[in-house]
Structure 1
Amino acid sequence: MSIEYINSILKPMLEGAQVTVLLFLIVIVLSIPLGFVLTLAVKSRIKPIAWFAQIYIYWMRGTPLLLQLLFICFGLPMLPVIGDYLVLDRFVAACLGFILNYAAYFAEIFRGGLLAIDKGQYEASQVLGLNKWQTTTRIILPQMFRIALPAVSNESVTLVKDTALLYAVAVPELLHFAQTAVNRDFTIVPFILAGIIYLILTLFLTILFKWLEQRFKFD
């Protein structure tokens, strides 16, 4: 294939990659805090809150993300009475589905980080005269995030690849433009270019999280 052809299909694919990156940023910024809130809810002493959080996490992790996206995009508008008020822009609906799904995974990651902290840390904090708030913010949370960082890194890389599911709900992203070019030109070159773009994005994330792990590692 000529350089001219590659340039002609690369421009729309890069535009699609912008949608991919935008979705990734929105989901990361919103799902990580929501996941932490869910972690706290699971540990809540108020049983209904803890049960709700546990059921939510089980449901979101136990059903396919694609099913959740299809339900939000196409199922919610079909609900009786309230369906007309639940018609969302496709991209907004996709963002909502990704945020709700990934928050459940991040909640489990953070819960694992908390469980990995030795109980002696709490006792040592009491000896030092720290109150519960100081213990949580200065001792427990920094250690939890350090422990959880590799798993968060892995989940973030998975998120980049999962953005391809936007194709299933008719949001024009990277894979959409690649598939369009393949169908039009009968060549696999667009798929190869799409794969390279995904690899570049995941490589950037891998380098970033490796730096963060080194930056916040235990002495």
Structure 2
Amino acid sequence: MATSVMLQKLGEGMVTSLWIFAVTLIFSLPLGLLISFGRMSKNKIISTIFKLYISVMRGTPLMLQLMVIYFGPFYVLGVQISQSWKNMAVAIGFVLNYAAYFAEIYRGGIESMPQGQYEAAKILGYTKAQTFIRIILPQVIKRILPAITNETITLVKDTSLAFTIGVTEMFTMAKALASGQVSMLPYAFAALFYYILNLVVAFIMERIEKKMNYYR
């Protein structure tokens, strides 16, 4: 197989990997914030429910979660699995899993804020919502950026787990090409892709972190 054809096929897998990466970040970051609110709720029932959710998501393999979500409708409800359900199952699985990790990162950042800032904002006439959005959240984001960066880099590599339910992303395509050609070249190109994407992620997050230095 010509190198150009191999790169074209790897490019198709790369698009899928980037799609999984983008969808997961777009939805799991805000969802994680909402889950962290539930986890910190003063209502014991609500906080326990979210604590259990986080525990399950973090305590079981993402690969297993993807399989449960994908095969669940068939085994539990007897619903036939369609081809389009694969992509939906991958999106749901990744978002729910990473939202749990981001929730704990958010919680750690929020709970690390000095109580005096809340009291000062109250004296100045800020509502609880205004205090959180204008004062607390920007500082929390600054504090948790390194942890968010680590999870984002992990996400780049975890996109390869989509092969579990037959989604042809970058790693799956590289594996198929390497097997067909009896060559390590597809793996080398795949490794280069993951490395470059992680460099880009690290660069962007570093720039954001520098811009957030105002909140020291």
TM range (shorter): over 0.9
2:179 alignment counterpart: 183
**Aligned partners of 2:71 and 2:81 also within 8 Å:** no
Over 3 Å counting, the alpha-carbon distance change for 1:102 and 1:122 in structure 2 is same
Partner residue in 2 for 1:117: 113
Amino acid at match of 1:45: K
CA distance in 1, matches of 2:80, 2:165: 19
SS in 2 for 1:77: helix
Superposed, 1:71-90 pairs within 5 Å as 71-79=68-76, 82-84=77-79, 89-90=85-86
Shift of 1:147: 1.0
Shift of 1:47: 2.2
The reply to whether residue 129 of structure 1 matches residue 129 of structure 2 is no
Matched residue SS, 2:50: helix
1:94 to 90, 105, 126: 90
What stretches of structure 2 of length at least 5 have no aligned partner?
Answer: none
CA 1:83/1:53 → structure 2, altered by over 3 Å: closer, same or farther? farther
Q: CA deviation at 1:137?
A: 1.4
Aligned to 1:75, the other structure's residue is in SS state helix
1:138-177 to 2 correspondences below 5 Å: 138-177=134-173
**Residue correspondence of structure 1 range 30-49 to structure 2 within 5 A:** 30-49=27-46
Report the CA distance shift for 1:86/1:37 in structure 2 as closer, same or farther (over 3 A): farther
Letter in 2 for 1:164: S
Cα-to-partner distance string for 1:171-199 (whole Å, 9 max, x where unaligned): 01111111111111111111011000111
Q: 1:213 is aligned with what amino acid?
A: E
User: Which runs of no fewer than 5 residues in structure 1 stay unpaired?
Assistant: none
1:85, CA displacement in angstroms?
A: 7.2
C-alpha distance in structure 2 between counterparts of 1:157 and 1:19, whole Å: 17
Provide closer, same or farther for how the CA distance between residues 174 and 35 of structure 1 changes in structure 2, counting only shifts above 3 A: same
Q: Is the 8 A contact 2:163 2:169 kept in 1?
A: yes
Aligned counterpart, 1:57: 54
CA offset at residue 86 of structure 1? 7.3
Q: 1:162 to 1:59 in 2, by over 3 A?
A: same
Q: C-alpha separation between the residues in 2 aligned to 1:85 and 1:191?
A: 34
Question: What CA distance in whole angstroms lies between the structure 2 residues aligned with 1:193 and 1:86?
Answer: 33
Taking structure 2 as the reference length, the TM-score comes to 0.94
- Give the aligned CA root-mean-square deviation in angstroms: 1.6
Q: How many percent of aligned residue pairs carry the same amino acid?
A: 37
Normalising by structure 1, we get a TM-score of 0.92
Question: C-alpha distance in 2, partners of 1:56/1:188?
Answer: 40
1:204 to 195, 200, 207: 200
Q: Name the residue aligned to 2:17.
A: 20
The farther-off stretch of 130-139 and 8-17 is 130-139
- Letter of the 2:207 partner, please give it: W
